[in-house]
């Protein structure tokens, strides 16, 4: 396998040579889930683990490999490589942490362009696009906007107008997977050797678009690994190589941007939840729940999961209560009830 097809180049090669260790070879991280990584390198794809736990504990979470990272690895055998170093990144996208005291959570590395995706149906959301645009801008990554499911939208014009007004300088593509609309334009954004990341909530059609652009079902390539100890969760592929084109990172779990990152433990649950069979899994009785499986295998504290679910419910409730519309509605309701008078400064109880 040619690593150039995976986006490798002089920038990373120089960093590798700088390590002065001829036993190390470069590879790219295609999946990262806790301590299990999957890498693509000169000797093919294989699982990889970090050289040592102490090392990563002392270096801090920002130095943990994320999908898209180039790493210097030592191949052990067919089934394992050891990650010695994370090579310097050309870019790093991080999820904004919601708590002020917590660090940003890295999502994807070495991305050349972000494709911000929203669909032309009830999931259409300009605020969400703005959140993704902020995420890309902070990382100095240029972005384009993809409006998906054009075939399901009777009139694209008002949507296009609203997006163009919110992002006057951005390139905006209207696409439809079943009709093939916009696919050549999307392909042009992913030339060989380049890496794009898809940022969009679950259900907007990212996977479908990816398959349509590739002209075949890439999602079948999903990596499922088990090792003898049963310690590893099922991992989901995140970096895809488009035949004849470049690379696409499909980052799972972006639905909760802004809510995650309350703590590393809670963020870990979010990551695990991305592997649940159902995307609105409450980690209760649903089949194929990756979170519950982690609890059963003693990799995750049950109380922490309960705490996380409670936080999530609270955040959802809080969001509804504090949205501008809700506030106005609340005020109007009060006025109506009180016959037009203003709310009292103090409420006295009899």
Rounded distance, CA 26 to CA 42, Å?
8
Contact between 102 and Mg ion per CB under 5 A: no
Contact partner at residue 221 from ligand GDP, Mg ion, Zn ion, none, CB < 5 to 8 Å by partner kind: none
Contact between 125 and ligand GDP per CB under 6 A: no
- The CB-nearest residue to ligand GDP is 205
Rounded distance, CA 282 to CA 292, Å?
10
Contact between 178 and ligand GDP per CB under 6 A: yes
Q: Which range binds Mg ion by CB under 5 A, 81-89, 113-121, 204-212, 316-324?
A: 204-212
CA distances (Å), origin 14, targets 20, 89, 300, 303: 10, 12, 40, 46
Contact between 269 and Zn ion per CB under 5 A: no
Among 94, 105, 148, 195, binds ligand GDP (CB under 6 A): 148
Among 176, 195, 235, 260, binds ligand GDP (CB under 6 A): 176
* Sign, CA torsion 167/172/174/177: negative
Contact between 208 and Mg ion per CB under 5 A: no
Burial class from Cβ neighbours inside 10 Å (0-12, 13-18, 19+) for residue 28 reads buried
Contact partner at residue 148 from Zn ion, ligand GDP, Mg ion, none, CB < 5 to 8 Å by partner kind: ligand GDP
Instruction: Using the minimum distance from each CB to Zn ion, give the nearer residue, 14 or 301.
Output: 301
Contact between 272 and Zn ion per CB under 5 A: no
Contact between 89 and ligand GDP per CB under 6 A: no
Kindly report the number of other CB atoms within 10 A of residue 22's CB atom. 7
Query: What are the two backbone dihedrals, phi and then psi, of residue 32, each rounded to the nearest 5 degrees?
Result: -135, 120
Q: How far is the CB of 169 from Mg ion (least distance, A)?
A: 28
Contact between 118 and ligand GDP per CB under 6 A: no
Contact between 281 and Zn ion per CB under 5 A: yes
41 with 28: CB under 8 angstroms? Answer: yes
Contact between 207 and Mg ion per CB under 5 A: yes
For strand 143-148 and strand 113-119, is the pairing parallel, antiparallel, or unpaired? parallel
172 with 199: CB under 8 angstroms? Answer: no
Q: Is 41 helix (H, G, I), strand (E, B) or coil?
A: strand
Question: What residues make contact with Zn ion under the rule CB under 5 A?
Answer: 276, 281, 283, 289, 291
């Amino acid at each position: 396998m040619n690593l150039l097809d995976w986006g490798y180049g002089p920038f990373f090669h120089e960093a590798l040579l700088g390590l002065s260790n001829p036993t190390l070879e470069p590879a790219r991280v295609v999946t990262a889930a806790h301590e299990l990584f999957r890498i693509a390198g000169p000797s093919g794809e294989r699982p990889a683990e970090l050289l040592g736990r102490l090392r990563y504990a002392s270096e801090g979470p920002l130095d943990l490999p994320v999908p898209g990272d180039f790493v210097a690895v030592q191949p052990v055998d067919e089934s394992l490589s050891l990650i010695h170093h994370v090579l310097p990144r050309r870019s790093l996208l991080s999820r904004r942490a919601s708590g002020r005291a917590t660090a940003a959570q890295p999502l994807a590395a070495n991305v050349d362009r972000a494709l911000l995706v929203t669909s032309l149906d009830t999931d259409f959301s300009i605020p969400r696009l703005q959140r993704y645009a902020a995420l890309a801008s902070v990382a100095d990554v240029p972005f384009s906007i993809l409006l998906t499911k054009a075939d399901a939208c009777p009139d694209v014009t008002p949507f296009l107008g609203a997006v163009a007004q919110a992002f006057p300088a951005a390139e905006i593509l209207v696409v439809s997977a079943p009709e093939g609309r916009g696919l050549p334009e999307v392909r042009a954004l992913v030339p060989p050797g380049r890496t794009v990341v898809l940022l969009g909530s679950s259900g907007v059609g990212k996977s479908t678009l990816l398959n349509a652009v590739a002209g075949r079902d890439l999602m079948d390539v999903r990596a499922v690994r088990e090792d003898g100890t049963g310690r590893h969760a099922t991992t989901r592929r995140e970096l895809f190589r488009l035949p004849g084109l470049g690379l696409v990172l499909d980052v799972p779990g972006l639905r909760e941007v802004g809510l995650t990152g309350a703590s590393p433990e809670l963020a870990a649950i979010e990551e695990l939840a991305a592997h649940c069979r159902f995307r609105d899994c409450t980690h209760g009785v649903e089949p194929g729940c990756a979170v519950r499986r982690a609890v059963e295998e003693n990799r995750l504290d049950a109380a922490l999961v309960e705490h996380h679910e409670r936080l999530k419910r609270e955040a959802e409730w809080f969001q509804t209560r504090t949205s501008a519309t809700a506030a106005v509605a609340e005020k109007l309701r009060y006025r109506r009830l009180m016959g037009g008078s203003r709310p009292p400064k103090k409420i006295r109880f009899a």
